Structure 1
Amino acid sequence: MISRFFGTGRRRSFGGASGDVFYGVSAVFALWVVYANIYALPDALLVGILFVSGIYTLLFLAVGGSNDALDRPSLLDWGLAASSAACGIYFFMIRESLATHITLLYPLSDGQLFFGALLMFLTLEATRRTTGLGLTAVVLIFMAYNLWGHIIPPPLGHGYIDFSSFIDTLMYTTDGVFGVPIQVAASYVFLFVLFGSLLSKAGGADFMFQLAAALTGRSPGGPAKIAIISSGMYGMISGSPTSDVATTGSVTIPIMKRLGYSARFAGAVEVAASTGGAAMPPVMGSAAFILAEYTGIDYRSVVLAALIPAILYYLGIYIQVHLRALRRGLRGVTETDPILETLKSGWVFIVPLIVITAALLVGYTPTFVAVFGTLSLLASSMLRRQTRMGPLALMRAIGETTVRMLPVAGACAAAGLVIGGLTMTGLSMKASGLVSLVAEAGDLPLLLLGALITIILGLGMPTPSAYILAAVLVGPAFAAAELAVLPANMFLLYFALLSALTPPIAVAAFAAAAIADEDAMKIAVTAVKLAATGFVLPFVFVWNPAFLAMSSLPMIAIAAAGGCVAVIILAHVLEAEMRGVLRLPALLVAIAVVSPYPMVSVPLICIAAGLGIWWWRSGTLLFLGPVKSPGERA
C-alpha cells in the first residue's frame, strides 16, 4: 500500500477519439503558452498560476494515481483535474486583487486561503505522481520545518509561522511555487521542448541516429559510438537522461548486445551518453535555463561556457569505448548509408540547429531563439515529403509538448515550495553557514562537500530540482568562498546531471536495465566509470576557468588542448590495461596539463602530443598491455 502511494503513477496512452480530444486540448494549451511568451504578458504571477493550473488539469488525467492505475481516468482523477481548473478560474477572477496584494500585510480572504491551500495540495500530489517518493519526501520535510520549526532550539529553529502566512508566501508571491523554476519552465523550457517535439515528429531522431551511424558505425565498436553520438544529439534537445535512454537506447542497446557487447556495458554506454546530453550546446536542458535565470548570466554565455566541457565529456566516453573495442576485437555494423547521402536526406534538420546557434550568437533571448528554431524547422520540414507534417500530426506534436512538460512542471513547482520555505525561515543561510565552515579547510574540501550534497539531493530527483536545491543550499557558501559565479553554478549543474547515473538511485540506469535485461546497479557502476571525465571536469573548470571560455583565446586554446590530453590519459588509465607503475605518473601529467599555468601545461601538452603521434603512427596503443582475442566479450 505504501509503495503504491509513494511510487510514480502510470502514464496513460490515449487513443482513438479520446486521444484526439486530449492532444487537441493539450495543443491549445501549448499555443497559449507560446502566445504568453511571445507577447510577454506583464503579470508573471498570474501567468505562472494559469500555467500550473492548466498543466495540473491535464496531468491528473494523463498520469494515474499509482503504477497499476486503470488506463482511463478514475473519478478521483477527474475530481483532481476539475479542482486544478477551478483554481485557475478563481485566480483569474481575482487577478486585479492579486496585482495589488502585498504579502503578509493584507490578510488572505477565506477564498484565497482555501484555493491557495488546495493548489498546494495539488502540487504535492502532482509531484508524487510524476517523480515519486524522492522529491515529495523532501518537500514534505521542508514544509513540516516551516510550520513547526519554531519548536526547534537555536540555531536551526525559527520564529512562529502561522498557516495563513505560510500559504500567503508560497502561493501568492513569486518566491514560492510560482518562482524562478516555474517561470523558466513556462517560458524557455516549454518552447525548447516544443522544438524537440516537432523535431522528433518530423523524423529528427531517426536522422540523428543515421548520421551517427554514417560517421562511426563501421569503425571498431561502431554500435556503441552510434549510441554516444545519437544520444548526445538527442539529449541536448530532450534534456532528460531517462527519456533519452528510453528513446535512443531502445535501438542502440539491442544492436550493441547483438554485436558482442555485454548487456551491462551496452546499457552503461547508453546511460553515460544520455546523461551528458543536457549539458551539450546549443540547446542544453531545462536546468541550464534555470541556471541562467537564477544567476542573471546571459544564456549565450552559459552555452559558450558549456561547449568545451561537453566535448571533453563525450570524448572521454568515446575513447573508452574505442579502447575496449580494439582490445576485445568488437566490430562495427556492416551496413550504413554514406554520410553524404544521409546529409542529403536529412539536411532539413540541420537548418534549425544552425538557426538556433546563429540566434544565440547574435544575442536574442532564449525565448526568441526557440521560436526562430521552431519556425525554421516547420518551414524546412515542409520542403520534403518524408518530413512534412499534416494538420493532425502537427496537432499531436504540439500536444505532445504539454505531455512532456508534465513531470518537469510538477518538479519545478515542488522545488518552488522548498525554495519559498527556505527563504521564509532563513534556513538556506543557516545551512550555507554550516557548509562554509568547511571552506576554512580550503576550496577543495568545500567543492567535495558541494559535489556530495548535490549528488545526494539528485538521487531519484529530476536534474532541475537537484540543481535548484543545491544552488540554494550550497551556492551561498561557494559565494562566501569567493568562487566565481559561473564556474560555481556550472559545478553544481554537472553534479546534478550526474546524479541520474550515480548509485544507489540511478534513475537513468533503471530505464536502461529494462531494455538491456541487466541489473540496474551493475549498469550504473559501469556508467560511472565511463562518465569519469564528467566527475573530474567540474573541479577542473573551477580551478581553470579558461575551460569555460572565461579567458583570452590563447588560454582557452591551451585549456582545450590540455583537456584533450588529460581525457585521453584518463581513458587509458580506466580502460586500457596500463602497467601499474605508469598509472600515478600518468595521472599527475593529466593534472598538470589542465592547470591554469601555461609554463607548466604547454610543454607537457607538446610532449604528450608528440608521443601520441609517434604511438599512433607505430600502430600501437598508448600504455596498453596484451590485446585480448577477438572472440572475448566486453
Structure 2
Amino acid sequence: MTRTPDSLDSEARDVVPGTQESLVEQAAATSRVDDEPTTANQRQPAGYRHWIIAWACVAYSVFHLLVMNVYPLETWTYRLTHVGGGLVLGFLLYGATAMSDAATTRRSALSVALLGLAAAGVLYGLFAVSAIWYNGRILGEAIPPRWAMDSFGIPLTVGTALAILHGWIFPHEDAERFSPADMILAAAAVASTAYLIFFARQLQLRAGMPMALPGDMWAAITGVLLIIELTRRLAGLALVIIASVFVAYAFLGPWLPGIFEHRGYTAKRFFSYIYTDNGILSAPIAISSTYIILFVIFAAFLQTTRVGEYFVKLAFAAAGHRRGGPAKVSIFASGLMGMINGTSAGNVVATGSLTIPMMKRVGYTPQTSASVEAAASTGGQIMPPIMGAGAFIMAEITGISYMEIVWAAIVPAVLYFISVYFMIDLAAQKANMKGLPRELLPKLDALLKQIYLFTPIVVLIYALFAGYSVIRCGTLAMITAAVVSWLTPHRMGPKQLFHALENGARMVLQLVAVCATAGIIVGVIALTGIGSRFSTVLLTLADQSQFLALFFAMVVSIILGMGMPTTAAYAVAASVIAPGVINLGVEPLVAHLFIFYFAVMSAITPPVALAAYAGSALAGSDPLKTSVESFRIGLAAFVVPYMFFFSPAMLLQGTGFEIAHVAVTAVAGVYLLAAAVQGWFMGPANWFVRGSLAVGGLTMIAGGWLTDAIGLGIAAVLVVMQRRVLSARDLAHGAD
C-alpha cells in the first residue's frame, strides 16, 4: 500500500511524541547492538564465557597491530598464527548448526562416546606436540622425540573429525557454557598450528616433496578439516562444496577425461603442499592477515566512536528531505563504509539496519529498500582507495602497483554509484515519492560544525596518495578516529578501545575462514595446473576473440562468486581465468579489474545473491525477488567493465580530453539504461521507448564518436517523442 506524504508525516510524529529526537537517531539507537554482522549460529556469550572470548578477541587484534607496526614476525609464522588464532576464536564463538533435524536435541550414549573419543585423540595430539616443542625449545635438542612425531597425527585428525561430527548431530545452544565439541576443535587448532609453526622453516623446504613427513601431512589434514568446518559455519555450504570438489579433483585426476586428467597425488604430498604459501598461506591469507584485518579494525573504531554514524547522519541531513532521500543516503553511507568493510553482506547488515527502515518510511517497499541497500553496499567493494581490500589483493597477484590500481578504478566506481543514483531517482519520480520531514532529520548546520569527524577518512586518503605504506596509512587513520572521538560525547576511553578491538576480531573471522578456504582452491589450481589448461580451453572457445573471452570470464566470475565473499571469489577467478584472457592480448590491469568487478557483482546476482539475502532479512522481503531487483538496480556494473575494455581512457589511460569525453558520454549512457530499466523518461515510458533507450545506452559503451552520436541521437528523438506524448496526455486529462 502506498502511503501519502501526510500520512508519513503524521506517522513520524507519532513515533516521537513530545521530543526533538530525529528519526535517524532513533534508528541508530535501535540498530546499535554489537555493530558487526552476525550469523544464525552465533551464540551471544554470557557470563565468564563472554569475558574469555572478549579478551581473546582483543589479544588477537592487538597481536596483529603489534606485528604490523612494531615487532615483525617471520612471514609463515605470522600467517599460521593468523589462521590458527582465527580458528580458535571461530569455534569458541560460533556454534555448529545441525546437518539435519534428526536427533539434535537428545543427548545419548552416542553423544558421550563421540565426545570421549574426540577428546582423547585431540588431547593426545596436543600432548605430543607439546613434547615436540618442549624438546626443541626448552631442551634445545634438534631431533624431536620419535614417539611424538610418529604417533600424534592419526589421533589428532580422527579426534577432530569426530568432534566435527558431534557438532553436526548434537549442536550446542547453551550461551552460559562452552560447547565441549567446540573446545575440542579449538584445542585441535592449537595443536595443528603449533606443529606447523614449529616446523615452518623445514616445511618450506620439504612441502609437497618426497621428504615430507607423515606428521606434516596429519597436521595439515587437521588444519584443512578445521578450516572447512569453520567456513561451513560462517559462510554456508556453497564455498565448502566448491573447495571439496577441488580437493577431490587433486586425487581423482588419473580417472578424469580430457583437460581434467592429471597424474594424481598422494595424500602426503598434497596436504603438505596445500598448507604452504602455495595454498592456504598464499595471497588471500597474506592480504587477510595484513590489510583486511587492519581495515576491519579501523571500521570497528569508526563504529565504536560513532564517527561512522556521523557520516550517515550528515547524508540524511543533506539529502533525507529530497525525493526518495533515504535511498540516496544509502548510496553515500553504504559506499563509504563498504569500501572499508571487506564484505558486501556484512556492509548491508552494518548500514542497512539504519537506512532500510528510513526507506520504508518514505514509501519504498521492503523489497526495494533491501535491493537499494544491497546494490549500494556491493558497490562499496569497487570504490577506491580501499575497494574492500580488492586493490591490495590485485596488487599482490598482478605485481601492478597499488596506486596504479586505485587511480584506474576511480571513474568506473563513480560511474556505478551515479547509475544507482539514477535508478533510485527515477523510481522515486515514478512513484511520486517525497522525502522525510525536515523537522525529523538531523540539522545540517549543527552537523557541519562537526565536519572534523571526517578527519580519519581524510588522513587515510591523504596518506595513501602521499606514498606511505598501506599499513601505516590504516594505523594513522585508526589513531585519528580515536583522537577525533575525544571532541565528541562518545570519547574513546579504555572501555571503548577494548570494545573496538574485540569487535574488530569478531568481524574479521568470516574473512579469515573464507580466505583460507580460497587458498585451498588456489593451491589445487597451482598443483594440478588446471588453471593453465582451462585458460587454453578458454582461448580455443573464444577463437582469438577478446570479447568472447571476457564474456566467458564474466560468467565464470559470477558463478564462482555465488556463495563466496568478494576476496575469495576474485582470488580464485583470477587464478583460473586471468592468464587466458591476458594471453589474448588484454592488458593485465583491464583483465583483473574486469574479473574483480564481476566477482563483486555476484553478491547481487540471482539466484545466489548474498548481499541481497542479507538485505531481505533486515527488510522482511522475499529473498529471490529482492535479488532480482538488486540486480536491476546495479545493472550498470554489468556494463561498466565492457566500457573500460573498449575505452581504456575510462581507466585514466589517455589524455585529459579523452578521459573527459569517455566519462561524460558514459554517464549519459547509464542514464539511458536506468530510464529503460525503470520505465520512466520524463514520464511513463512504453515498451518501444524503453527498448530504444536501452539501445541508445548500449551504443555508448564503446566510447567512440560515431557510437556516441548514435546514442545521443536516439535520446534526442525520444525526448521530442515523449514531450509530444506527455503533452497530449495532459491535454486529454485537462479536457476530462
Q: Name the residue aligned to 2:126.
A: none
Counterparts of 1:359-508 in structure 2, within 5 Å, are 359-382=463-486, 384-440=487-543, 442-508=545-611
User: What is the CA-CA distance between 1:289 and the residue it aligns to?
Assistant: 2.0
The 3 A distance-change label for structure 1 pair 624 and 561 is farther
Distance between the aligned counterparts of 1:559 and 1:235, measured in 2? 26
The 3 A distance-change label for structure 1 pair 147 and 373 is same
Q: Name the residue aligned to 2:246.
A: 142
Which amino acid in 1 is paired with 2:371? A
Deviations 1:453-512 (A, max 9, x none): 111111111111111111111111111111111111111111111111111111122212
Q: Which of 94, 100, 105 is the matching residue for 2:199?
A: 94
- The reply on whether 1:161 has 2:192 as its aligned counterpart is no
Percent identity between the two aligned chains: 29
8 A Cα contact 2:639 2:701, kept in partner: no
Q: Name the residue aligned to 1:119.
A: 223
The 3 A distance-change label for structure 1 pair 73 and 624 is farther
Deviations 1:255-288 (A, max 9, x none): 2222212222112111111111111122220333
8 A Cα contact 1:578 1:623, kept in partner: no
Greater Cα offset, 259-268 or 139-148: 259-268
Which amino acid in 2 is paired with 1:27? V
Q: Name the residue aligned to 1:355.
A: 459
Q: Which of 83, 105, 111 is the matching residue for 2:188?
A: 83
Deviations 1:106-142 (A, max 9, x none): 6223332321221121111122111111010111111
- The reply on whether 1:177 has 2:284 as its aligned counterpart is no
Distance between the aligned counterparts of 1:131 and 1:518, measured in 2? 21
- The reply on whether 1:59 has 2:164 as its aligned counterpart is no
The 3 A distance-change label for structure 1 pair 536 and 80 is same
- The reply on whether 1:340 has 2:445 as its aligned counterpart is yes
What count of residue pairs does the alignment treat as equivalent? 611
Which amino acid in 1 is paired with 2:75? A
- The reply on whether 1:288 has 2:391 as its aligned counterpart is yes
TM-score normalised by length of structure 1? 0.90
Deviations 1:50-84 (A, max 9, x none): 11111111110011111764134311100011111
8 A Cα contact 2:675 2:690, kept in partner: no
Which amino acid in 2 is paired with 1:363? G
Distance between the aligned counterparts of 2:676 and 2:235, measured in 1? 37
8 A Cα contact 2:348 2:373, kept in partner: yes
Deviations 1:206-258 (A, max 9, x none): 21211111221111111211222221122122122212222222222222222
Q: Name the residue aligned to 1:35.
A: 66
Structure number with higher relative contact order (C-alpha < 8 Å, ≥ 6 residues apart): 1
Greater Cα offset, 400-409 or 249-258: 249-258
Distance between the aligned counterparts of 1:509 and 1:47, measured in 2? 35
Counterparts of 1:458-607 in structure 2, within 5 Å, are 458-575=561-678, 576=680, 577-597=684-704, 599-600=705-706
User: What is the CA-CA distance between 1:26 and the residue it aligns to?
Assistant: 1.2
Which amino acid in 1 is paired with 2:366? A
Where in structure 1 are there 5+ consecutive unaligned residues? 1-7, 628-634
Distance between the aligned counterparts of 1:239 and 1:434, measured in 2? 32
The 3 A distance-change label for structure 1 pair 213 and 85 is same
Distance between the aligned counterparts of 2:504 and 2:455, measured in 1? 21
Distance between the aligned counterparts of 1:596 and 1:499, measured in 2? 26
8 A Cα contact 2:340 2:389, kept in partner: no
The 3 A distance-change label for structure 1 pair 105 and 258 is closer
Deviations 1:27-54 (A, max 9, x none): 1121111222225736322211111111
Distance between the aligned counterparts of 1:521 and 1:591, measured in 2? 27
Greater Cα offset, 214-223 or 81-90: 81-90
8 A Cα contact 1:565 1:609, kept in partner: no
The 3 A distance-change label for structure 1 pair 235 and 155 is closer
The 3 A distance-change label for structure 1 pair 601 and 352 is farther
Greater Cα offset, 578-587 or 306-315: 578-587
8 A Cα contact 2:692 2:714, kept in partner: no
Deviations 1:359-404 (A, max 9, x none): 121122222221121122222222x142311212211111211111
User: 3-state SS of the aligned residue for 1:30?
Assistant: helix
The 3 A distance-change label for structure 1 pair 24 and 574 is same
User: What is the CA-CA distance between 1:330 and the residue it aligns to?
Assistant: 0.7
The 3 A distance-change label for structure 1 pair 60 and 591 is same
Q: Name the residue aligned to 1:210.
A: 313
Distance between the aligned counterparts of 1:626 and 1:94, measured in 2? 80
Distance between the aligned counterparts of 1:232 and 1:63, measured in 2? 28
Where in structure 2 are there 5+ consecutive unaligned residues? 1-38, 99-170, 731-736
User: What is the CA-CA distance between 1:579 and the residue it aligns to?
Assistant: 4.3
Which amino acid in 1 is paired with 2:427? R
The 3 A distance-change label for structure 1 pair 621 and 149 is farther
Distance between the aligned counterparts of 2:361 and 2:723, measured in 1? 28
Which amino acid in 2 is paired with 1:521? L
TM-score normalised by length of structure 2? 0.78
8 A Cα contact 1:242 1:511, kept in partner: yes
User: What is the CA-CA distance between 1:584 and the residue it aligns to?
Assistant: 4.8
Which structure's CA Rg is the greater one? 2
